[in-house]
Amino acid sequence: MILIEVADATRLYWFPGILAILTAAISGFAAYQIAKRQHSGRIETSAAADLWAESRSIREILKQQVSELTKDLEQSHVERLKFKTELEQLKLSLVEAQGQNRQLAAQLTQVRGENEMLRGANLALARRVTELETKASIPTVLAPVTVVQRPQEEQNEQQ
């Protein structure tokens, strides 16, 4: 039993040291876990906090710019639709004006033809009146009619 007592004494001698080491390890691990939970997601250093604040302000500025640009885009879209509508109306007016222009050009051609025909009839009547007056030798009460001859080019174009 003496051997058992010596062995028990040796165990008791090492027991407080092992207990202290285990206690220190467990308490260190527990402190690490507690600190990890408390500081997770937090920024501790002043440089990192400044960078974080700056990134927030940049995000706010960018959000404001995006909002302004979105409003400008919507306004531009509304103006574009107005211009598109106005352009369509102008196109329709142009088509109508072109149609009227064609009609007026056709009427002008017709009136020119009638004018040439009447000018020819007028010349023929003036010649006939002159012819009759010379045959009858009757003095005319009206002023004499002067016959204007058109240049040869115009007569050729008419034929």
Confidence of residue 59 (pLDDT cuts 50, 70, 90): very high
Q: What is the pLDDT of residue 1?
A: 43
User: How distant, in Å, are the alpha carbons of 6, 22, 138 from that of 10?
Assistant: 6, 19, 176
- Sequence spans of domains, the chain: 7-35+55-137
Q: What confidence score (pLDDT) does residue 52 get?
A: 85
Which of 42-51, 102-111, 142-151 is least confident? 142-151
45 DSSP 8-state letter: S
pLDDT confidence band for 3 (50 / 70 / 90): very low
Q: Which residues contact 129 (CB under 8 A, 6 or more apart)?
A: 145
Name the pTM for this structure.
0.41
